[in-house]
Amino acid sequence: MKRKHLTIPIQRSVSRNLSSNDVASSSNANIGNNQLITDVDKEQTVNIDNFESTSTQKETTCSQPLVTSQVEHVKKKIPVTYKCKSTVQQDKSDRTIPDFMVRPLSLSQTKIIDRQLVTMIVKEYHPFRLVEDMEFKKLINILCPSYNLPSRKTISESLIPSLYDQTYEEIKLKIKEGLAVCLTTDAWTSINNDSFVAITVHYINNNWTLSSNLLGCVKYKESHTSDNLSKLLKDSAHEWGIENKITAITTDNASNIVKATKLCNWRHIPCFAHTINLIVQSGIDCLKNNILSKVKAIVEYFKRSSSALNRLHEMQEQMKLPNLKLKQDVPTRWNSTYEMLNRILKIKEAVVATLALVNRDLNTLGESDWLEIKQATDVLWVFNEVTVELCAEKSVSLSKILYFIKVMRKHLSADKFSPEKLSPYCHEWDEGSEWN
């Protein structure tokens, strides 16, 4: 009889395992092949419904024992392990091409991200090498994998000049909305001995909102004479098309810039905050003989010595005082003298106790000195408050000046202040102030 190969239908999605323990010995080898094929076909057809969701292995049994050679043949035809569909994860080969592709950004989206990146660098004063930082690159890759960071050269030579041109045109259109404008200007020298001049324009736009824009901050190499500064102001006004809109200009009280504004035939308004600072600097000269020098020496000592500063903080914690640092007086910074005296008064006990432990030579302030410091801070308090109010950028302060003058006069005329202490300030108001 012609013999057929065993054909066993197996569903490949099911876990099966053939065990040879259920196969009988060769004593039943005379069973007919046809019966064997029929029995095996019946028993080896697997039904998925009979399996659990887990991939546990089950044994397959035959209804009739098989001879050894037939068992080996069946074992070759039936794989050892098959997994159920419910437990098989999607094979990587089943993924489609879009799964491996990152959609590129459109040109408009790339320009938006580039502009925001450059704006962040400019406004927050970040270095150009930020785009080469590995952690920043990882962050950008997580947020937007298809975005390619520009190089430092691209930022400095292409993106920033492009942003400057766009911003220049935008500001020029905004300034045209103002029917009248005012200017403020100032000049200073950097720590590298480079001279700069800045010009700012102020106006009310079509929405009746106070707006301010920086027209320029240039490195000025010419001598700061009134003629040179006048030419600079006129050229800047002509460049922005506002030469016929200027109603006034505000500067400090330096003689060269005051004369320069007069050469431009513009109304000059002196900076009231700068005037107050000059009055205060002249008035506190009476303290500079001994008290201010002693306070500055104490502050500088704690600035230089880290161990003394740590002892001061520990003393503040022991006395349950606020953990504050001493402030140093800077002649060019307004109100810095008041801030230095006011701060040392707040932690007076901790300062005295710490100096007694670490440096007794500096502990030279007596009770009369502390009393004079207290009275000086009471006098200077009103000047500090007025200066802070005048430095507001979102509101007009010119209309408040007369009111502030009256407030300061009333404060200085209080009975708690002795006339000899207030005479320097009152003299400045009566003789040196342009606002009287």
User: Has residue 110 got a pLDDT over 70?
Assistant: yes
- Per-residue burial over 306-336, b if 16 or more Cβ lie within 10 Å, else e, is eebbebbbebbeeeebeeeebbbbeeeebbe
- Of residues 65, 57, 18, 63, the one with CA closest to residue 42: 63
Instruction: Report d(CA 426, CA 252) in Å as an integer.
Output: 21
DSSP structural state of residue 180: S
User: Has residue 1 got a pLDDT over 60?
Assistant: no
Cα dist from 85 to 12, 45, 363, whole Å? 9, 17, 85
User: Has residue 42 got a pLDDT over 80?
Assistant: no
DSSP structural state of residue 106: P
Instruction: Report d(CA 170, CA 205) in Å as an integer.
Output: 13
User: Has residue 289 got a pLDDT over 90?
Assistant: no
401 against 434, higher pLDDT? 401
72 contacts 6 by C-beta, under 8 angstroms? no
pLDDT at 317: 92
pLDDT at 13: 43
Confidence of residue 280 (pLDDT cuts 50, 70, 90): confident
Instruction: Report d(CA 428, CA 423) in Å as an integer.
Output: 9
Sign of CA dihedral 50, 54, 55, 56: negative
Q: Which residues contact 263 (CB under 8 A, 6 or more apart)?
A: 226, 227, 230
Q: Which single residue is written with the structure tokens 């999605």? A: 13
**CATH code reported for the domain at 180-270:** 3.30.420.40
State the DSSP string of 320-367: T----------TTSTTHHHHHHHHHHHTHHHHHHHHHHH-GGG----H
Report pLDDT digits (tens) over 171-215: 999 998 889 999 999 998 888 889 999 999 999 988 888 899 999
User: Has residue 11 got a pLDDT over 70?
Assistant: no
User: Has residue 53 got a pLDDT over 60?
Assistant: no
Confidence of residue 32 (pLDDT cuts 50, 70, 90): very low
- Per-residue burial over 84-95, b if 16 or more Cβ lie within 10 Å, else e, is beeeeeeeeeee
Instruction: Report d(CA 269, CA 176) in Å as an integer.
Output: 23
Backbone angles phi, psi at 18, to 5 degrees: -90, 130
Report pLDDT digits (tens) over 91-109: 555 666 655 566 788 899 9
- Of residues 116, 413, 383, the one with CA closest to residue 272: 383
High-pLDDT (> 90) share of the chain, % = 43
pLDDT at 181: 94
Q: Which two three-digit tokens encode residue 106? A: 């459109």
User: Has residue 436 got a pLDDT over 50?
Assistant: no
User: Has residue 222 got a pLDDT over 60?
Assistant: yes
174 contacts 137 by C-beta, under 8 angstroms? no
- Of residues 63, 2, 61, 59, the one with CA closest to residue 28: 63
Window from 109-123, 145-159, 349-363 with minimum mean pLDDT:
349-363
Instruction: Report d(CA 20, CA 10) in Å as an integer.
Output: 18
324 contacts 263 by C-beta, under 8 angstroms? no
Q: How many residues does the chain have?
A: 436
User: Has residue 87 got a pLDDT over 50?
Assistant: no
DSSP structural state of residue 411: H
246 DSSP β-pair partners: 181
State the DSSP string of 3-69: ---------TTS--EE-GGGS--GGGTTS-HHHHHHHHHHHH---GGGS-SS----EE--SS---HH
pLDDT at 321: 86
Report pLDDT digits (tens) over 296-312: 999 999 999 999 999 99
Q: Which two three-digit tokens encode residue 16? A: 């099966």
Q: What is the mean pLDDT of the chain?
A: 78
pLDDT at 293: 87
Instruction: Report d(CA 425, CA 282) in Å as an integer.
Output: 8
pLDDT at 351: 92
pLDDT at 340: 93
User: Has residue 118 got a pLDDT over 80?
Assistant: yes
218 DSSP β-pair partners: 197
Query: What residue segments make up the domains of the chain, in order of their start?
Result: 1-101, 107-169, 180-270, 277-432
